[in-house]
Amino acid sequence: MSFYIGHEAPKLWRRICAETTTEINLLAENWKYILGGLIFQYIHGLGARGVHYLHRPGPTLQDTGYFLLPELGSDNAYISETVFTTIFLSFVLWTSHPFIFKTKKIYTVLIWCRVLAFLVACQFLRMLTFYSTQLPGPNYHCREGSKLATLPRPDSVLEVLLLNFPRGLLYGCGDLIFSSHMIFSLVFVRTYQKYGMLRFIKQCAWIAVIAQSFLIVASRKHYTVDVVVAWYTVNLVVFFVDKKLPELPDRTSAASLLPVSKDNKTKEENHKLLNGNTDPEDWRPRTQINGMIMEDGNAVHVEAAMNGV
């Protein structure tokens, strides 16, 4: 699939068309990986929903983080979710930035193939751990006396498969070790650390993840062990999986990924346009006559080297 980009089109629109064509071609080659990663997101949600049926409320376990951090309370639990949402949306916007900005190192489809591979590996390990041992949930809706702490026996398989979306995902219990929020946040931040270009944003991202770690414990959504295990497990998984995956192509030399066009020059122009090296509108025919560079029949520059002058 190709979009033909005219010279008279605005620069931003031409860049979006060029990026879209390239990403569609990449998606056609890698759609199986994207689809597999998305399907596993549903499987992970199904696993978290299933362990809720096994959850039995009980006294909150002794936790060092609970002694050190003051409890935010149910009314302020949204703070940690706000930080997580900010990290999540910021990463999604960053992976879409090649369509708008000239400076970029990544292809959106390829970066999400990589991210989904990290998420699948981490979530598979997470499901193994929380099905191995069910701990009494520390969250307010998981404690003794709450109607949501234990799910009644499902009336049908469909009730389980639909996950009671979105309430079933927001008010789950039993899927504790290790934190899913930390999985997403650490995978996103580590990915930007490697492929992002702004040092200030990298520093802010790590600060946000550290703050989220404390907020998750302070809001009593997880035990401290859930956060601690997430920190070393996710980083180790990303480190080893990343070594097994092929390195992302360098945009500045990946001309074969660019869209095919009507004339001979447009593909090279699109290559420049995609990578922000120059503006195609500055490409005008120039000829050289008697040491003078001519542009549209007019002399614009003279370089003379006469007798060493």
Q: Say whether 181 is catalytic.
A: yes
Give the chain's count of helices (H) and strands (E): 10, 3
Instruction: Determine which one of 141, 226, 242, 279 is catalytic.
Output: 226
DSSP string, 138-193: -SGGGSTT-TTSSPPPPSSHHHHHTTTTTHHHHT--S--SS-HHHHHHHHHHHHHH
Instruction: Determine which one of 44, 52, 55, 222 is catalytic.
Output: 222
Instruction: Determine which one of 63, 181, 271, 279 is catalytic.
Output: 181
In sequence order, what are the residues at sequence separation of 6 or more whose Cβ sits closer than 8 angstroms to the Cβ of residue 178? 126, 129, 225, 226, 227, 229, 230, 233
CA of 277: how far to CAs of 6, 96, 267, in Å?
19, 19, 14
Q: What is the dihedral of CA 124, 128, 129, 130, to 10 degrees?
A: 100
275, exposed or middle or buried, with CB in 10 Å at 0-12, 13-18, 19+? buried
Angle between helix 199-218 and helix 78-95 axes, rounded to 10 deg: 150
What token pair was written down for 21? 């064509």
Determine contact, residues 251/109, Cβ cutoff 8 Å: no
Q: Say whether 226 is catalytic.
A: yes
Q: Say whether 271 is catalytic.
A: no
Comparing CA positions, the residue from 154, 141, 140 lying closest to residue 54 is 154
Return the active site residues: 181, 222, 226
